Amino acid sequence: MADALYGAGWSTVKKLPEPVAVRLGRSIADLAWKRRGKGVLRLESNYARVVPDAGPERLAELSRAGMRSYLRYWMESFRLPAWSPERIADGLDVKDLHHLTEGMAAGKGVVLALPHLANWDLAGAWVTTKLGIPFTTVAERLKPETLYDRFVAYREGLGMEVLPHSGGSAFGTLARRLRDGGLVCLVADRDLSSSGVEVDFFGETAPMPAGPALLAQQTGARLLPVTLWYDDSPVMRGRVHPPVEVPASGTRPEKTSVMTQALADAFATGIADHPEDWHMLQRLWLRDLDPARGPATAPGQDRKGTS
């Protein structure tokens, strides 16, 4: 059923006039928000960490705006295969793009790391279309397999090379692409491996993937955080943050921890500025993933909050 629904979305929504698709997405978002399902409640719980002084009314407003932003992502994604190159090129405005272009010109490869903000698929299509830069990414292997195949075909149709997250060979392929001076783009605010690096994220401990930092260390590639957001226009906005440097000293795990924390800090800046565009409808913080860990503490602290 899931596969059929997504297939219907890609085949039907992309044929709709853009204003109709926008209204449809907003209507679906409002209906889902009113039903107060698990995803909406989790979204509100996550927003409560991002905006700690928000009361119930403010959190409800944020979750409604968040669902509208989430459905905007889906409506755009369903329609992206039908967008012209000009529409894609005009669909994103990026600040501080020089961090990316200078990194690519250096010839050592670039890793772009993004959180689940706004529409990362549109950003990827913009990179391949506007900048003419192919890149490699990793996708979670969804079930059923036919649904995963749909997502791979969709993203490959936008000019991306897509590797499965599971299977163990993705890291080596990504490293080879970077050593050849290529571009790798990774959504990196949610760990799928159960072996992520613990970081302080909005005052609580959360695991985040180590891959971006490890790739930068192993290949010499430039590691760049990217954040995205929507405004009231049809154009998505984005920012390429300054490079995350590899520490001059320390063991590989220590360097990875420092670099992943720097990524988390950049993500937090973008999410705090535009919380409604953060589409995190899953558990993220360690306290939610593993309640047995007890009260949240920042990495490196004991239960009393001392270093």
24-47 residue pLDDT tens: 999 999 999 999 999 999 999 999
pLDDT at 2: 58
Residue 143: both structure tokens together: 């079930």
pLDDT for residue 295 is more than 70: no
The closest of 207, 217, 219 to 282, measured between CA atoms, is 207
pLDDT of residue 304: 31
In a domain, 21, yes or no: no
| Secondary structure (3-state) at 302 | coil
Q: Is 18 helix (H, G, I), strand (E, B) or coil?
A: helix
Q: What is the mean pLDDT of residues 42-55?
A: 96
Determine what percent of the chain is predicted with pLDDT higher than 70. 87
What is the C-alpha to C-alpha distance for residues 77 and 145, in angstroms, rounded to an integer? 20
**Cα(175)–Cα(260) distance, integer angstroms:** 18
Q: Identify the pLDDT of residue 148.
A: 60
pLDDT of residue 307: 27
Q: Is residue 278 part of a domain?
A: yes
User: In terms of residue numbers, what domain contains 161?
Assistant: 84-289
Lowest mean pLDDT among 1-10, 42-51, 55-64, 120-129: 1-10
pTM of the model: 0.89
**Using alpha carbons only, how large is the chain's radius of gyration in Å?**
19
Any idea which residue has 């209204």 for tokens? 23
The distance in angstroms from the start CA to the end CA of the chain is 50
Burial class (CB in 10 A: 0-12, 13-18, 19+), 246: middle
Instruction: Identify the band that residue 142 occupies on the pLDDT scale cut at 50, 70 and 90.
Output: low
Checking if the pLDDT of 302 tops 60, the result is no
Instruction: Specify if 158 maps to a domain.
Output: yes
* pLDDT, tens digit, 9 for 90 and up, residues 203-261: 999 999 999 999 999 999 999 999 999 998 999 999 999 999 999 999 999 999 999 99
In a domain, 221, yes or no: yes
Tell me whether residue 152 is in a domain: yes
For residues 275-293, average pLDDT: 90
In a domain, 264, yes or no: yes
Give the number of domains in the chain: 1
- The answer on pLDDT for 299 being more than 80 is no
Asked if 211 and 163 touch (Cβ cutoff 8 Å), the reply is no
Whether residue 201 is contained in a domain is answered as yes
Residue carrying structure tokens 């950003």: 123
Q: Is residue 184 part of a domain?
A: yes
Mean pLDDT for the chain?
Answer: 89
